[in-house]
Each structure stands twice: as structure tokens, then as C-alpha cells.
Structure 1
Amino acid sequence: GSVHWQRPGKEPEADLPYHRYRAPSAEVEMTAYVLLAHLTTQPAPSQEELSFASLIAKWIIGQQNPSGGFSSTQDTVVALQALSRYGAVTYAKSGAASKVTLRSGGDFQQDFQVDPTNRLLLQRVALPQVPGEYSTEVSGEGCVYLQTSLRYNVQPTQEDAPFMLHVYTIPETCVDSKAHKVFDIGINVSYTGERNSSNMVIVDVKMLSGFIP
């Protein structure tokens, strides 16, 4: 149900749970330029071109992140320009309103009203249960953009560090008034990697506020 362009030799999309593949920046930018080309024909895009443009816009919208951007600054600028142009070309001035109803398999239901007074306003709601099955129903006239975003944390894999760093003070505790003003800092750095040599290593030591070396 969507159309996009990609570079040859591209790897297949990852099929992971709760993971939606995001295209590289170059492909988003490439597809956005094609959409702009379809929408800037003179004197005006035909109905066939608008129908084809809707398939392109659908793919671009699917690549948009929850913050409204894309992979990089450059493709974000071009993609938003293309989507803005698409919205301007397909805009129909109408006083009719649209109603969007979001339901779950349980008793959850949320209604959104979209009319000319709030058509540019972001409306959102937190889903009560994730994962879960939800359905949307749209009635009325107009165009609405629905987006779901899922955020979660992944524990990073623990890797063996190639260096060992040990920092200590002499004395270790402030046993007298002199230690509050003058003390030594000991730094031990050891290379524990698999290579025979670590090559160049830089140790950057910053002083505590109020102290000088």
C-alpha cells in the first residue's frame, strides 16, 4: 500500500518484535524528492498523480519518528517540505469534522474530534496496556494522521574493557585539617586488551573545583 525508492544492493529489512525498520537517510530524501516532483507539475497535478503521490506520502510518514523528524537533518528538511506540499495540494476547505475513536479489546475507548479549529493540533493519549490489541474507527469528512510510538529500553551488552583505571587519594580519608587542603591523587592505568601493545593512550586529569595541581 505504499511506494518508495531505494538504492540497489540494500539488505533486507529486519523482522524483530516491536521493531519497525527505518530506511537510511538517503532513501528518505530520494523518495521525498520524487514526491515533490509529482506535486509540482504544472498547471496542477492530475488525479492520477495525486493518487500515486498518496502512496509515496504514506511511506514517508511511516519513516517519521515520534519527534516528527527522520534519520538526519537533511532528509528531515526535504521530507517535511514534501509532506507540507502534499498537504497544501490535497487540502480541501470544509467545515465538516472528523471523529476518531480508539478502542481496545477491553473497556478502553478514547474519542478525538478533528475540525478546522484544531486540525493542526496534536492530540495524544497513553495506551493503558502494552502489548495489546487496539482498533481505530474514523467517521466524517477530512484527513487525519494517526501515529503510534513505542518506547522501551534495552540493556546494553557487557563488554570487556581494554583498559583498567584505578584512581585513589593519599590519604584515602581526610583524617586531619591538612588533608582538606592538600592531598595526592594516584592514577593507575593498565592495558588489559588482547593486543600486544595499546598504542598511544591519553589520560586527561581534571582538578576538583577549588584545587590546582
Structure 2
Amino acid sequence: MMGGSNTKSTLAAYIYSSLKEGVAEMTLRTPNLDIKLALVLSAMEADYMLNKDTWVAQRKYFQLAILAYAFALGESSLTSDVLQKLEDLSQDQDDMMYWSTATQSVYKDNGRLYRSLPSGPSDIETASYVILAYTKMDNVIKGQRVLRWLMSQINGAGSFKSTQDTVIGLQAIAAISILIGKSSAGMNLTVDTDGILNKMLVVNDDNKFLYQKEKLPDDIMEVPFTVSGRGVALLTLNWKYNVMRQPLNSVPTFHIKAKTTFVNSNVFDVEIYIRLLVSSSIGQMALVTYKAPSGFVTNTDTIQGADRVENKDGKVIIYVSNMLMSRKEFRIQSTRDKDVASVKDEFVSAEMYYKPGSRSMVKYEIPEEVKLSACQLSKGENDVCPLPGNPSGAPVTTPTKLLLTLMSILMLLTNLN
């Protein structure tokens, strides 16, 4: 839960910030905690002074961001220095400030240029910690520049890329919103789309912390609006569209191999072998996802070497907290739970937790002896199923059925006479 960084200084800053927040909320009552936290802060300051040039050269955005927040919480004199380093390293677009190691995606369609601002969970957390640091420094102006970028990354469900970055992202938005909201608000925002929609959004002291949303017509291309009054508000426009694109020079993150072993007609094992191919992801958390075929359940007790395992709705997620270049192996056993005929092959995938776009996937083949037909599952109880000794598959008349047939013929002849 550290934005893809697993250094000692980052972990120390994360724990220090959590403890300082706990003290601020009056929830911690540990003897000599202030003295211990002061020692931790001094150690982090010394580590920063020793390594800051290296971290800047290596563009350790997240590491610098979480240190900035920790220093701000501890009222360190180095807070401004870290924030200045981050500002020098920042990327700027449309008066938005952000940090990302990804390359900006640019698409051209019908003469229009579309730019996709890059973001991953680590980028979201970096921006969030910078906002929190600015908030502690009462620097709303610079905090708002980062806030604009952060708000542009919220998806239609109101969250970000993952659970952790959503938690810290919402914390940052709430913190700076409270700071902005200290002043009195009285604003009217009017949206007028050529008579199709005429809507006024009112922001005042009673609702300034509420999220207001208005759905626009599907075919609208321009959204003119006017604002009057006094205060600070953030207006975002969410536009959903699809772009077909093929990644260029993409390098797979993992090599995955899945080998199945037949146990019996209702049980099979899958041996999963994964190996990291990208050295820049060494030491980060990886997720291995196994999808059981329809009608099968998975026994997660047989999985060894995982830091954590989740099993829900036939999908098993294996957490590997410290992924290395060496091969990892997992053995999974699935057992038939419901009668589903002719089950289909399924997939195993692997991805870095903080890089959802890094997913690699491979199909595993279910043993043919497990892919039972409807007739095999019904054990021949179905009248149209072939019986032993009749490989052609045509229905066979049993003695009982023959007797019933003869009785029907005799009854018919009797009625005719």
C-alpha cells in the first residue's frame, strides 16, 4: 500500500503519517509517543538530505510526495524544500500540475487532437500526498493546481484506479475542500446549451461541501456557462468516449504458463508458473488471477507461497507482495460443484497491483476427461443419451419400452375388432 515504492524511507513516512494523524484525531494514547515520533522525523530528515539528489535524478515522485506530507505533519523545516523539488519535477498542462512516469497519449481523429493525461494508482497517490502537504502549509493556490488534475482522473463511479488510491485521493480532496470552504461562498453557475438545457447550480454556505451533478444531452459538443458571485468552486466535465488503438512496441510484463493435471472426472489441478520480465517492477506487489470454469469451485487451502488469497464467485486472486524476476509457482485445485456440460477453457492473468495496464494473460486447457457432456452428467438417465453397446448414439429400446409397445399394439388391434 505504498504507491509501488518499497523503500525504508517510504515505509517510515507512511507509518509516521498514520501515527501523526492518529495523534491529531486524539485516538492514540501511547507513552512517550511524541519523543519516538520526533526521533523518526529526525531520521527521515537525515535520510532525505543524504539521498535527495539521487531521488530527484531517479524521479522518485511518490517517495518525495509522501515525505513532503510526513514533513508537513511534523512541521519540519525541510517541507518547503521537498515541495520545491516536486514542483521542479512536475508536469504541467492546462494549469494542472501532476507527476507521472507514463507517456502522454495523443490521438487524432477527424482533425481533432485528443490528449489522454496518464495516470496510474501511484500517480494518484503522489498527487494526493502533495495536496495534503500543501493543505498543511495552507497553500491553496498550488494545491488547487494539483487538485484540478486529480479531479480529472475520477471515473464515472466516483473512484480512481484502485482501493488504496481512492482512499487517499478522497482524503486529499476532502482536506483541501475544507481549507477552501473556510471562506463564505455565494455563487451561481448557469449552464445554457442552446435552449436544450438551462440549469443553474447554486453554491452557498449550506451546500458548498456537497457534490452537484447534472446530466447533459448526449449529442452536445459545447457547454457554455457563466459564473457570478463570490467563492471558489471546481467545475469538471466528464465525457465518455471509446478510442480504438493498438499499443506500439509493448513489452509483456509477465511470462505465464498454466499446466493442467487430470485427477478424476470431477477434479483437476492447475499449476501456474509466472516470471516477471520488467526489471523496473521488481519488489512491487503483483496479482495473479485464476478463473475457475463454470460449475467448479476452487480450494484455496492448497495454494502455497502467496501473501494473501481471495476467492469470490469462482475467481481466485493471489497477492504477491514482493515480486522478483525469479519464477513463482502456484498449484490450484478445482472441483465440480454443479453439473455444467462441456465446460470451456478459462484464463490465468497476472498484473502489477499499481499498474493495471500491465496485465498478461494465458488460457489454460481443461482436461478432456473433465469436460463431461450432458449425457455423461445425467449418467444415461436421459432417454436420448446413447447407452453402452450403442456407439452410434441412436436411442435403444429397453425391454420395458418393448413390452409397453407390444401392449399398445394389442390394445389397438382389439379396438379395431
TM-score range normalised by the length of the shorter chain: 0.5 to 0.7
Q: CA deviation at 1:152?
A: 5.7
Specify whether residues 188 and 69 from structure 1 end up closer, same or farther in structure 2 by C-alpha distance, changes over 3 A only.
closer
**1:90 has 2:90 as partner:** no
Counterpart in 1 of 2:316? Answer: none
**1:2 has 2:96 as partner:** yes
**Alignment partner of 1:110: what SS?**
strand
For residues 105 and 192 of structure 2, what CA distance do their matches in structure 1 show? Answer: 30
**1:78 has 2:188 as partner:** no
For residues 93 and 206 of structure 1, what CA distance do their matches in structure 2 show? Answer: 70
Runs of 5+ in structure 1 lacking a partner? Answer: 156-184, 191-197
For residues 151 and 81 of structure 1, what CA distance do their matches in structure 2 show? Answer: 25
Measured against aligned partners, the alpha-carbon deviations of 1:39-97 in whole angstroms (never above 9, x if no partner) come to 224xxx3xxx3221111111111111232211111111111111111112222242x52
Q: CA deviation at 1:24?
A: 1.0
Identity of aligned residues (%): 25
**1:12 has 2:97 as partner:** no
Counterpart in 2 of 1:132? Answer: 221
TM-score, structure 2 length as denominator?
Answer: 0.34
Q: Retained in 1: the 8 A contact 2:186–2:203?
A: yes
Specify whether residues 187 and 34 from structure 1 end up closer, same or farther in structure 2 by C-alpha distance, changes over 3 A only.
closer
Specify whether residues 107 and 80 from structure 1 end up closer, same or farther in structure 2 by C-alpha distance, changes over 3 A only.
closer
Q: How many residues align?
A: 165
TM-score, structure 1 length as denominator?
Answer: 0.62
The amino acid that maps onto 1:31 is: A
For residues 231 and 196 of structure 2, what CA distance do their matches in structure 1 show? Answer: 28
Runs of 5+ in structure 2 lacking a partner? Answer: 1-94, 245-339, 346-362, 380-417
For residues 128 and 170 of structure 2, what CA distance do their matches in structure 1 show? Answer: 8
Structure with bigger helix share is: 2
**Alignment partner of 1:128: what SS?**
coil
For residues 188 and 36 of structure 1, what CA distance do their matches in structure 2 show? Answer: 51
Corresponding residue to 2:136 among 26, 40, 49 = 40
User: Whose radius of gyration is greater, 1 or 2?
Assistant: 2
For residues 25 and 50 of structure 1, what CA distance do their matches in structure 2 show? Answer: 24
For residues 206 and 77 of structure 1, what CA distance do their matches in structure 2 show? Answer: 47
Specify whether residues 81 and 16 from structure 1 end up closer, same or farther in structure 2 by C-alpha distance, changes over 3 A only.
farther
Corresponding residue to 2:366 among 183, 195, 201 = 201
Query: Higher RCO, 1 or 2 (CA under 8 Å, sep at least 6)?
Result: 1
Specify whether residues 105 and 20 from structure 1 end up closer, same or farther in structure 2 by C-alpha distance, changes over 3 A only.
farther
User: What value does the CA root-mean-square deviation take over the aligned residues?
Assistant: 3.5
Q: CA deviation at 1:35?
A: 1.7
The amino acid that maps onto 2:213 is: R
Q: Retained in 2: the 8 A contact 1:97–1:142?
A: yes
Specify whether residues 200 and 4 from structure 1 end up closer, same or farther in structure 2 by C-alpha distance, changes over 3 A only.
same
**Alignment partner of 2:97: what SS?**
coil
Counterpart in 2 of 1:180? Answer: none
For residues 187 and 76 of structure 1, what CA distance do their matches in structure 2 show? Answer: 41
